[in-house]
Amino acid sequence: MRATFMFRAGDVRVQNTPDPVLRYPTDAIVRVVRACICGSDLHPYHSLPETPGGTTMGHEFIGVVEEVGADVATVKKGDFVIAPFAVSDGTCEYCREGLHTSCEHGGFWNDTELGTGGGQAEAVRVPLADGTLVKVPGAVDESLYSGLLSLSDVYGTGWHAAVRAGVTAGDSVAVIGDGAVGLLAVLSAKQLGAEQIVLMGRHRVRTDLGREFGATEVVAERGEEGIARVRELTGGRGVRRVLEAVGHLPAYEQAVGIVRPGGVISRVGVPQYRDAEIGWPFFGKNTTLTGGPAPVRAYIEQLMPAVLDGTVQPGRVFDREIGLDDVPDGYRAMDERTALKVMVKP
């Protein structure tokens, strides 16, 4: 089959590779119907060192089950499934608490221990299929693909940001970042009843979609100017909940600057830094910092009904569809920001 590999920063190739086969009785083989490229794939796209043999890419996909191992009980051949961006057994202490990204037997799609391939491919071996995959009920119309695909990562990740931040009815919220996760954090905050949603971003097409998702104000300024602008919009106090969906240090510093005393910063952008400000400016106002890799598996069943019945359209973050062989162009387009989020049809 064809699958995507990255060999070093900027070097993405789609190559022939052996078809995946069942390795354990808990495995399933899923034929990919749609996959996508993630904002977080751009981090290795900028920084991956020379990697002989390449590293397998893609952690978001929906597809049809082709084959299951003897111990798989919850999905069967022919089922339409969503694969979250993390593999999880669904039974360990962490999974039972809804923290599937810390699963004791799980891992990520490019996890060498799990030995599985990425989702930007024609098919994938899914370990721990009962814990990992979620069956979509009924017949699945193609018009639903983008929304269902968003449940594999970006929608659940935006939702995680809002849930961890404790967004509740009447809240003031700021979302930092107008990528797919940021926009879906806006949508999530809106669903949770936030009254004021300030979206910090500077790409007009994206922030326009953010407004449709529920943003009440858009702040294009960054740094001290951006902080001053958000303070101005919140009576000088700052916002109660900051959802940080970027992962770079300036975004975090912005979050510290705009959070209200007693407020929460919830990060879902994978931090591209190690140390950052948690001294007096942060501590003195009793700030809470939370978030992390979203256990999207915990949210899929809850979020899926409104996607299926069209109440929400998280799939609108996909603004380009390409074939598998065009994946390298898809990376380039997302890197150059000519595409917001690229869907891949193998």
Residue ranges that bind a second copy, judged by CB under 8 A: 93-94, 97, 99, 101-102, 164, 237, 252, 261-262, 267, 270-271, 273-280, 283-293, 295
* Tokens (6 digits) for 278: 């948690």
Rounded to a whole number of angstroms, the minimum distance from the CB of residue 49 to a second copy is 17
Contact at 8 Å (CB) between 240 and 171?
Answer: yes
Cβ atoms of 171 and 189 closer than 8 Å: yes
Give the nearer residue to a second copy in terms of CB position, either 67 or 277. 277
Task: Tell me how far, at minimum, the Cβ of 331 lies from a second copy, in Å.
Answer: 23
Question: 49 or 279, CB closer to a second copy?
Answer: 279
Number of Cβ within a 10 Å radius of residue 183 = 32
User: Residue 143 is encoded by which pair of tokens?
Assistant: 């018009």
3-class state of residue 330 by DSSP: helix
Q: How far is the CB of 69 from a second copy (least distance, A)?
A: 28
Task: Tell me if 258 sits within 8 A of 287, measured CB to CB.
Answer: no
Q: How far is the CB of 306 from a second copy (least distance, A)?
A: 25
Question: Of 154, 157, 128, which Cα lies nearest the Cα of 295?
Answer: 157
Q: Could you tell me if 63 and 118 are in contact, meaning their C-beta atoms sit under 8 angstroms apart?
A: no
**To the nearest whole angstrom, how small is the minimum distance from the Cβ of residue 72 to a second copy?**
26
Nearer to a second copy, 218 or 258 (CB): 258
Residue 79 vs 253, nearer CB to a second copy: 253
Nearer to a second copy, 164 or 341 (CB): 164
Neighbours of 141 (CB within 10 A): 8
Nearer to a second copy, 138 or 279 (CB): 279
The backbone torsions φ and ψ at residue 48, rounded to the nearest 5 degrees and listed phi first, read: -60, 125
Phi, psi for 117 (deg, rounded to 5): -95, 170
Residue type, 312: V
For the bound state, the minimum distance from the C-beta of residue 295 to a second copy, rounded and expressed in Å, comes to 8
